[in-house]
Amino acid sequence: MTEPEDDQAERKMQFLFALRSKGITDSRVLTAMERIDRGPFIRGYFADRAYEDMPLPIACGQTISQPSVVGLMTQALKLSARDKVLEVGTGSGYQAAILSLLSRRVYTVDRHRRLVQEASEIFRALDLTNITALTADGSFGLPEQAPFDRILVTAAAEDPPGPLLAQLKIGGIMVVPVGQSDTVQRLIRVTRHQSGFDYDELRPVRFVPLIEGLGRDTA
């Protein structure tokens, strides 16, 4: 059953208002999040909660981040239309879809083959042709495509991973959650300069841990 247009417009207006109220002010980010419907990225029992500002479980024991966190992380990247972006942790594919509207090329990797396959199906359905999704151990980045203008990590590491820092261009930005437990994590923005790295702490967050190796997927 198709949702009435008036209800769709009202829901979208409430969604954007919620994003603005959480500090997302970049007009390009807001426009991208208005264009990419979160609904197709959530399947099963929680599908009817797709438009709430909350994290939700997806396959393989992972989660889709709440939209306000997706927006804040995207905004923190300061993306330009010419950027080549690496996302570590494809998950549902929602974040990569947002990034694809704001950059030239997105490489997204996940350790779970099933998640990559399901996200790739959605990318094709939405005609998002500038996303390359791969099954890989994201903690080592994607050396064959480096360097990257921007790197976004959607799982928490104890420290910003060295291989990812090495794959960041001079002048590039990486946004990554860091913390040694799932109760104390901070979202960090790392900017690479000729002389080293600058670190800015953005806000407390809560993400699944960044795990080395490939996942053992279930059917």
Residues with catalytic function: 65
* Residue recorded with tokens 């809560």: 206
User: E-strand spans in 44-184?
Assistant: 56-57, 63-64, 84-88, 105-110, 131-135, 148-153, 168-178
Q: Where would I find the H helices in the chain? A: 5-21, 27-35, 67-77, 94-100, 113-125, 162-166
Distance CA 105, CA 33 (A): 17
Query: Which of 51, 30, 32 minimizes the C-alpha distance to 41?
Result: 51
